[in-house]
Structure 1
Amino acid sequence: MSRTRLIHPAWTVAAVAFVALVGAAGFRATPSVLLHPLHAEFGWPLATISAAVSVNLMLYGLTAPFAAALMDRFGIRRVVAAALLLVSAGSGLTVFMTASWQLVLCWGVLVGLGTGSMALAFVATVTGRWFVRHRGLVTGVLTAGGAAGQLIFLPLLAVVVRGHGWRTAALIVAGAALVVVPLVGWLLREHPADLDLPAYGADRVVPAAAPAGGAAARAVGTLLAAARTGPFWLLAGGFAICGATTNGLVGTHFIPAAHDHGMAETTAAGLLALVGVFDIAGTVASGWLTDRVDSRLLLGGYYALRGASLLVLPSLFGGATHPSMLVFIVFYGLDWVATVPPTVALCREYFGASGAVVFGWVFAAHQVGAAIAATGAGLVRDRLGAYTLAWYVAGGLAMVAAVLSVLLRRRRAGEAPFAPVQPAAGPWRLPPVPTGAGARATVSRRP
């Protein structure tokens, strides 16, 4: 028996994707350790620096559906390699900046576009192509790559910033992105059919389908069709709150908030990295559960737990790390991106073959929420002198996301994917939309 049969290439693809995702998460999270150094050197308000982070977060999400469509059209390797080059350029050029708009251009636009092309829609594309068996588990492991990136990069960069300045940290990020490019070009395969193999766990080879139309047209067309369905808005609404309560608020402002209470930035960065440790365990476990438990119930539970933890966070900050803060880190960490595997599964359940692109748009909503929270929390801090109100609002929103999740209805047996929810009454009715590339939703009038 050949080696390719002993070790399915899907696992090699997953391993390379994991490395790219580790890097993308670490690169995107870097601004959280740069807020105070940039403020100290240039005198820019935290709200101004947070605006650059918001652009980064927004593009990180809005790029995802187009990147998923580009991967279908031009290949995973080309898109990911180009994304890493963008990250390297954006991070490296920051060492020459003298004005805040340059921060927005470099870290906001270039790094946002690059990391967005390696975001969670990339996970949905890889798992959708290469895995049938253990798809939920692999989704969880790849998603945990984001936590691993945070775990690896944040403490290291915090030490580098403290000892050698933020410019050295930016150059380290630029170099790390370049190092991954050859690995992607060498080992990241496009589709199992290219090797005349079935996906892992499948029993037959499925030829790679050529997408109809351009990547942008496909991404936008998929959005227009999905937006006519109830599940899309419930998933997008919940995931927008997910972004607001993770990347936007905690990922961006936890370190400066802890610093406001007398905690050293290196200690706060270590706590945020510890969130990443527990997030790895929580996300992998969530992937395992997604293969076995109703994803709607999982999402409801995750969001409710997150909301409760955020509501108590303001009372836990202090100059030292107390046991109560460590309890928060454990519970919040287990929940950080545990929402991703069930959300990916629900996009695939409702939208079939278009699930990866639809998830890209749902993830875009996630980053819109993150961007709003990043800027909003900065404004709260500038105006009120503390982040307390931001934590309470985030906790309440997470409870709303729990309600949105349990409102998702289960698809009936035999119901075609991509079928919009029918209104209970009224003259307008949306007929089911056929699955497949180029499928379009149409509106018909019901007498």
Structure 2
Amino acid sequence: MSQTLASGDRILSGMRPTGRLHLGHYHGVLRNWIRLQETNECFFFVADWHALTTAYEKREVISESVWDMVVDWLACGVNPNLATLFIQSRVIEHAELHLLLSMIAPLGWLERVPTYKDQIAELREKDLATYGFLGYPVLQSADILIYGASGVPVGEDQVSHVELTRELARRFNYLFGREPGFADKAEAAVGKMGKKQARLYRELRRRYQESGDAEALGEAQALLEAQQNLTIADRARLAGYLDGGGRSVLAEPEALLTHAPRMPGLDGRKMSKSYGNTLSLRESDADIEHKIRTMPTDPARVRRNDPGEPEKCPVFDLHKVYSDADTREWVQTGCRSAGIGCLDCKKPLIGAVQAEVAPIRERAAELASDPEHVQQVVTDGCDRARGVARQTMQEVRSAIGLDYRQR
């Protein structure tokens, strides 16, 4: 990741259920999730509503893929004791926040999202002239903002979506963060901190507002994060009170650029279900061997004694992922001198992929045989996610004026 992430910061990430996962998902996303769950509060969700934006006619595939995907997550090492796993459509608050954000989302912002026109061009066979497809970045923003996520792991092509989320949060806070009696409510919140902490907060606020002391601002923000007896609303008020603004109802997330090496497929292109060039996370040893043995190689090697060029060979792209430096050197020297044949080159690769997939496949089989356990993991995760989402929506409704409290 390109940014420094503080330990304990909340992370939000999801996947669309469009079929069984493959090694591209594992190396590009899941290994990162497994690292993040050890140090951060992670929310990982099945983005089933998002799947409908481009595959609404494939409801059976989506329905079947939801549980397959959760099984694959667990089999790879995503730990429900460390992370919250849930299904997007089971936390209805996502839809409510999506609706409310859509009321303030300028149409031009959505039409300028780079991936909007790109996908329209790439998926010409699909009817994407729908309200849902145009508005899916707003739904994505709701997914993030409803959990107050500090960071969202994304590839470079998704940075614009996180930036849109930041802009929507900023616009929401500008429109609705100036609640009546804000200063009085903020002072009341300061009083809840205790005399010593309240005195320190006021001193740090004074230093920042009078002289722009950035160090004082950082100390005050850290002080707020450490307060256990403040509600989310009070903490948001005091964060806004620090800089003289209003209440920050929705937190602006950061895009966490993930270093995901391009996972090559069996034909040299990026591994993708749409290309039919994948190795699934539950592939059998026999199928792994067959698929790798039949991979295309450098076309210059027509005969066994013809020298080749590894950099032109899809097999060597996989060696870059799975083989150590000595093995890669052996492949390069042997290929260029015709000292080894293509099947010789593929053997260590077959063994490495089989060794990686075997424990995942075995664990997935155990989980698939106990669907009640998998469903309970998701039920527990949905309950936890729903609790956090409900708190956010209480604040959102209050800020907009939709709580209709009797005066």
Shared topology, TM-score over 0.5?
no
Larger Rg: 2
Of Structure 1 and Structure 2, the greater strand share is in: 2
| Bin of the TM-score, shorter chain as denominator length | under 0.3
Q: Judging by fraction of residues, say which structure has more helix.
A: 1
